[in-house]
Amino acid sequence: MSLKDYQKEVDEWTKQFDPQYWPALEQLARLTEETGEVAREINHLHGTKKKKSDEAPRKLDDELIDVIFTVICLANSHGINLDEAWERVMREKHYGRDANRYERKDLQP
Ligand SMILES: [Mg+2]
């Protein structure tokens, strides 16, 4: 599936709600919450702070999808085509501006 397919799936699912998409600032708050949940999972996986014994198990992959879902809601409510944006950003920033920014692996045999 492409990002456009995910955007369509989210748009179809959210059509049952009124409003279909929350106001932008509420979506931003949700994105911040979900990003914090990713941080919490990363901290539990790699940090010294472990989960409480009575804490419900969550998974990093679930939390990452929550972030992506929220980003898609923001994109949809702003009329952004994420496939087009992805192609443009990859071309301009990653393959262009940052092409020589990071140290490369030595791929010589
Ligand atoms: Mg979450």
Confidence at residue 62, expressed as pLDDT on a 0 to 100 scale? 96
- Assess if residue 38 is contained within a domain: yes
Computed on alpha carbons and rounded to an integer, the radius of gyration of the chain in Å comes to 18
- Assess if residue 107 is contained within a domain: no
- Assess if residue 103 is contained within a domain: no
The backbone torsions φ and ψ at residue 15, rounded to the nearest 5 degrees and listed phi first, read -65, -20
CA of 66 to the centre of ligand 1 (A): 5
Confidence of residue 106 (pLDDT cuts 50, 70, 90): confident
- Assess if residue 36 is contained within a domain: yes
- Assess if residue 8 is contained within a domain: yes
What's the domain count of the chain?
1
- Assess if residue 109 is contained within a domain: no
CA of 7 to the centre of ligand 1 (A): 19
CA of 17 to the centre of ligand 1 (A): 20
Tell me the pLDDT tens digit for each residue of 69-97: 999 999 999 999 999 999 999 999 999 99
Phi-psi region of 11 (alpha: psi -120 to 50; beta: other; left: phi over 0): alpha
pTM of the model: 0.89
CA of 101 to the centre of ligand 1 (A): 33
